[in-house]
Amino acid sequence: MDEFIALERVEKVFEVRRRTGFLRRERREVRAVDSLSFTVARGEMVGYIGPNGAGKSTTIKMLTGILTPSGGRLRVAGIDPARERARLAHRIGVVFGQRTTLWWDLPLIDSYRLAHRMYRIPDARYRENLDRMVELLELGDLLDVPVRQLSLGQRMRGDIAAALLHDPDVLYLDEPTIGLDVVSKAKVRGFLREVNAERGTTVLLTTHDLQDIEQLCSRVMVIDHGRLVYDGRLAGLHEAGESERTLVVDLERELPPVEVPAARVVRVEGPRQWLAFPAGQSAAPVVAYLAERYPLVDLSVREPDIEAVIARMYAEKAVS
């Protein structure tokens, strides 16, 4: 099946009641997801990003069947999640970084034993998966430790293992690296890459850490106010965000700002000058032009900062 996850004009409206005075209440609608359509193919690893309150977690909850859409059509592996939540549970794994699914007071291994029974995982398969997970996620020394005694990074690795023991076809990750130090983040990312490559698991990854996306996802979807505002390659965001690349040139000596078509000097420091030009454009003509007319010693191109691009994108959409 090519469209493994498919959303067609999906909506989710929450009704919130607010006290506005003595005995007076106001009803207000929050449109958390608004006419959202996208598809994800089997084996894809897609980043799902957007500012706080954009509707990311709400989308994931609908994809697991925890929440029922207010409108539209939604399918995961051909299953309507809200109608057949139990059947879907065998096909998906979920990690909510902000909330553990493990048994807090019990040793880690007990949560896995429970999953073994709950999902009716064949014994040999369970053992094989557990061994692999323990090895890759370095859980060996942690299995007998009560979950509440684990550090955040250890707990997150434990949660990820729990989500994968039953060999799901899809893995939803809602901020799986939140609060982790750089070493733990690297471990989690390495593991996810491996799972995706080895098992062909389809992964939908929500995060505020753009390095997660840069290192893992060839495709990224940006959601804002419940609507999809970008779907494509991460690199393409630069163009969508109208960002600029910077050419840093070292001249033989201090000179007035150089003059080049299609680029402008944004900074001068002694013999070094910084030129900005559109990110979608090649640096070659700018370099050729400069080399012909100025005494160049050295140069380098700096890519735009993806964080800045996305921040600008969020800001633009917020006003429109």
Q: Contact residues for Mg ion (CB under 5 A)?
A: 56-57
Query: Beta 219-224 vs 227-233: how paired, if at all?
Result: antiparallel
320 binds, among Mg ion, ligand ATP, none (CB under 5 to 8 A by kind): none
Structure token pair of residue 92: 């998906």
Residue closer to ligand ATP, measured from CB, 140 or 320: 320
Residue closer to ligand ATP, measured from CB, 169 or 175: 175
Structure token pair of residue 28: 């207000």
Concatenating the DSSP letter of every residue in 57-98 gives: HHHHHHHHTSS--SEEEEEETTB-TTT-HHHHHTTEEEEETT
In the complex, least distance from residue 281 CB atom to Mg ion, rounded to whole angstroms: 36
Residue closer to ligand ATP, measured from CB, 262 or 311: 311
Tracing tokens 């969020």 back to the chain, one arrives at 314
55 binds, among Mg ion, ligand ATP, none (CB under 5 to 8 A by kind): ligand ATP
Structure token pair of residue 46: 């897609």
In the complex, least distance from residue 47 CB atom to ligand ATP, rounded to whole angstroms: 13
Closest CA relative to residue 54, chosen from 174, 218, 196: 174
| Residue 163 half-sphere exposure toward CB, CA atoms < 13 A | 28
Per the CB < 8 A criterion, the answer to whether 275 and 266 are in contact is yes
In the complex, least distance from residue 60 CB atom to ligand ATP, rounded to whole angstroms: 8
Q: Which amino acid is at 184?
A: S
Residue closer to ligand ATP, measured from CB, 32 or 92: 32
In the complex, least distance from residue 164 CB atom to Mg ion, rounded to whole angstroms: 21
Is residue 122 within a helix (H) or strand (E), and if so which, with residue range? none
Binding site for ligand ATP (CB under 6 A): 14, 16, 30, 32, 50, 52-58
In the complex, least distance from residue 187 CB atom to ligand ATP, rounded to whole angstroms: 23
Residue closer to ligand ATP, measured from CB, 221 or 287: 221
Per the CB < 8 A criterion, the answer to whether 294 and 255 are in contact is yes
65 binds, among Mg ion, ligand ATP, none (CB under 5 to 8 A by kind): none
Closest CA relative to residue 280, chosen from 231, 242, 230: 242
111 binds, among Mg ion, ligand ATP, none (CB under 5 to 8 A by kind): none
